[in-house]
C-alpha cells in the first residue's frame, strides 16, 4: 500500500449534514452509567475526488437515556488518486489507513463541537465528548448492508 503525504490544503470539507439526532435527558442524574461508542462508514466517488464520512456517535445509559448522532461529512480531495490503490481482483479502491484516519480525525473533532453546541439547551449542557484516537475510530467501521 502506498502512503502519500497528506497535504491539508488539498482537503476541503464542503458540507456537513446532521442526519439524525436522539436526545433523551428526562431522567438524567449522577448515578447513571453511560456507554460511549463511535463508529463510521465511508463512501467515495473516485471520478469527482469526493469522500463521505458517516459518523455514528452514541452516549447511552442502560435506560436509553442519552444521545445518538448520525452526522455526514462531505470532503473534496484534490489528490485523492494518491491515497488509494485498486484491488486488482475486485476492482475496488483500498485507501491508506492514515488518510482515512486523518478524515476521521477532522470529522470527529468537528462533530464534538456540533454536539457540544446542540446540547447547550439540555441537561447535557456541560457534556464534552471525549477525545478519541482516529486510529481507534478507523477500526470501528460499520459494514454496509
- Asked if 63 and 44 count as a contact pair (C-beta separation under 8 A), the reply is no
Residue 103: φ, ψ to 5°: -65, -35
Q: Classify residue 2: in a domain, yes or no.
A: no
Residues of the chain with pLDDT under 70: 1-3, 31, 142-145
Quick check: is 145 in a domain? no
How many structural domains compose the chain? 1
Q: In this structure, is residue 71 part of a structural domain? A: yes
Q: What cell does 100 get?
A: 482515512
Identify the CATH number of the domain in which residue 107 sits. Answer: 3.10.420.10
Q: Which pLDDT belongs to residue 28?
A: 77
- The pLDDT score that the predictor gives to residue 145 is 40
- What pLDDT is attached to residue 42? 94
Residue 116 lies in a domain: yes
What does each C-alpha distance from 3 to 16, 20, 82, 94, 100 come to in angstroms? 27, 34, 8, 11, 11
Print the domain residue range for 37: 8-138
Position 1 in a domain: no
Domain assignment present for 96: yes
Q: Is residue 144 part of a domain?
A: no
| Strand 66-77 to 11-24 pairing | antiparallel
Amino acid at each position: 500500500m502506498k502512503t502519500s503525504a497528506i497535504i491539508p490544503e488539498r482537503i476541503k470539507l464542503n458540507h456537513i449534514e446532521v442526519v439524525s439526532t436522539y436526545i433523551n435527558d428526562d431522567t438524567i442524574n449522577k448515578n447513571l452509567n453511560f456507554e460511549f461508542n463511535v463508529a463510521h462508514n465511508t463512501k467515495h466517488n473516485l471520478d469527482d475526488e469526493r469522500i463521505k464520512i458517516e459518523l455514528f456517535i452514541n452516549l447511552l445509559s442502560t435506560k436509553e437515556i442519552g444521545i445518538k448522532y448520525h452526522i455526514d461529512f462531505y470532503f473534496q480531495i484534490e489528490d485523492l488518486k494518491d491515497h488509494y490503490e485498486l484491488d486488482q481482483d475486485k476492482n475496488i479502491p483500498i485507501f491508506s489507513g492514515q488518510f482515512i484516519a486523518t478524515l476521521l480525525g477532522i470529522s470527529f473533532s468537528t462533530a464534538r463541537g456540533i454536539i457540544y453546541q446542540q446540547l447547550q439547551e439540555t441537561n447535557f449542557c456541560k457534556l464534552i465528548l471525549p477525545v478519541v484516537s482516529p486510529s481507534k475510530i478507523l477500526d470501528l467501521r460499520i459494514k454496509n448492508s
